[in-house]
Amino acid sequence: MSIFRTKSVERSIEDTESPEHRLRRSLSALDLTVFGVGVIVGTGIFVLTGQVARDNSGPAVALSFVVAGVVCALAALCYAEFASTVPVAGSAYTFSYATIGEFPAWIVGWDLMLELALGGAVVAVGWSGYFSELLSTLGVDLPPSLVGEHAVFNVPAAVVVLALTAVLVAGIKLSARFNLVVVTIKVAVVILVIVAGLFFVKAANYSPFIPAPQPTPAVHGLKAPLIQVLFGITPVAYGVLGVFTGAAIVFFAFIGFDVVATAAEETRRPQRDLPIGIISSLAICTVLYVAVSLVVVGMQPYYRLSRSAPLAGAFRVVGQDWLATIISFGALAGLTTVVMILMLGQSRIFFAMSRDRLLPGGLAAVHPRFGTPYRITMIIGVATALLAGLIPLSALAELVNIGTLFAFILVSIGVMILRRTRPDLPRSFRTPLVPLVPILSVLACLYLMLNLPVETWLRFLLWMAVGIVLYFAYGARHSRVEEASPVRAG
């Protein structure tokens, strides 16, 4: 048995037609684009703008968003080619299985739990905070034991996860319609911020656009960025390096466009619609992020922006409290769709892994009426609700970044491998300038990973070690891919 045995593209597509595992195809390019915008526009735009402007980039926070957007665009071009060539649920897991091999595919699937399941729990905790604040404005105060970082059990976070789980089980089209309504609300709020904020912009707040670099307080031990430990490069605030440091942080704001690829089997015309959904959602969100960040730093000096609620805080400073309340409502709507679509992506990846018997095959059952992988969806929903309710996850949020970047690297490598091993496959979308674009994607993602703390790397390696044990204990012995499958030399 070779742990690098691959599953052919043809067999992956053939598996999607088996009656017991067939998902319902009902999504259009518009649905996919809305899914992408729904999962991308969330915590990043409502929180990170102020934090990065104050601590890293100054008014040039817009450039940090551009840099992070370019990194994601390089990976998105690779995702678009894979998704249109291998229109199968599972995203990076399925792509890796077809190119690099079974063991790397398992590692990617296990790794994506950090982005999706853990990310969903992190965002749900943030959702409960906004929900509590809105209730407070209405005169209803929840006890600290039920909400917040120190709650015995974070009830609002768990309840919203379970409610969204029910929506996901009820069908992909219902999920898409719900998502469309909520995304419309939050995009309208973002546009309101841009338009209304223009009336309060002061040109003086943009000067200097890139403040002079300043050394940051020394960080040592496990909290130091890996790039500092390896190469002695100490991060600085502001200046050009500050813009790139800020990009490593606001990268979190772009996480999620890759989730669009997990819905490949539920798309009517995947070869056409998946590239449109992936690339257009990323482009729309990049434009919104840059516009919002420029407006907010123009309304208030960057060093006075709120770290926790910069958009609402900027409008309160100029006496527009009613707009601040609307922004808080938009943030709540934004986080709702993020939680739902992260869980959607996780369920489709585990569905693909269960269908391949790397996880118990019974989990891949599709509901006879709703056409959704209901068992996996409910398990993920309950697990995410427990995580969100019991564990203060703020310290683990950086794991979401490192897990996502690692998946981006493997997908970018996979595009180059599949171009060489299967040049005959029909590709409705082709990543331009191969191998240049994939190589740039790998290098850019690796640079952002190096800017993460040593402790995040250690947690990531520990998580990977647990996954390796599970693979050899179960997945390697139950895999549906026969030993006679094509094996990549290596």
DSSP-assigned letters across all residues of 313-350:
HHHHHTT-HHHHHHHHHHHHHHHHHHHHHHHHHHHHHH
Identify the CA nearest to 342 among candidates 272, 255, 468, 228.
255
Determine the pLDDT at residue 1.
Answer: 52
pLDDT of residue 397: 66
- pLDDT per position as a tens digit, 176-202: 788 788 888 888 988 988 999 999 999
Q: What is the pTM of this model?
A: 0.83
Cα–Cα dist 216/89, whole Å:
44
φ, ψ for residue 98, nearest 5 deg = -80, -15
What is the pLDDT at residue 91?
78
Contact between 285 and 306 (Cβ < 8 Å): no
d(Cα 456, Cα 403) in Å, to the nearest integer?
10
The rounded distance, in Å, linking the Cα atoms of 123 and 396 is: 12
pLDDT of residue 484: 44
Taking the domains of the chain in order of start, what are their residue ranges? Answer: 28-478
Task: Give the HSE-up count for residue 311: Cα atoms under 13 Å, Cβ half-sphere.
Answer: 31
Do 288 and 45 meet the contact criterion of CB atoms below 8 Å apart?
yes
- Count of Cβ atoms closer than 10 Å to residue 258 Cβ: 28
Give me the residues paired with residue 52 across strands: none
Q: What is Dmax (Cα atoms) for the chain?
A: 70
Q: List for the chain the helix, strand, coil content (%; round to 5).
A: 75, 0, 25
In one-letter notation, the amino acid at residue 57 is: S
Coil, strand, or helix at residue 5?
strand
pLDDT in tens, 117-160: 888 888 888 788 778 877 877 778 888 778 766 778 889 999 99
Start-to-end C-alpha separation, the chain: 14
Strand partners, 237: 214
* Residue appearing with tokens 């077809």: 98
> What is the length of the chain?
490
Residues of the chain with pLDDT under 50: 483-490
Radius of gyration of the chain from Cα atoms? 22
Q: Specify the pLDDT at position 20.
A: 63
Highest CATH level, class, for 28-478: mainly alpha
In angstroms, the Cα distances linking 201 to 176, 195, 296, 319 are 36, 11, 8, 14
- For residue 428, the 8-state DSSP code is S
- Is the separation of the CB atoms in 425 and 85 below 8 Å? yes
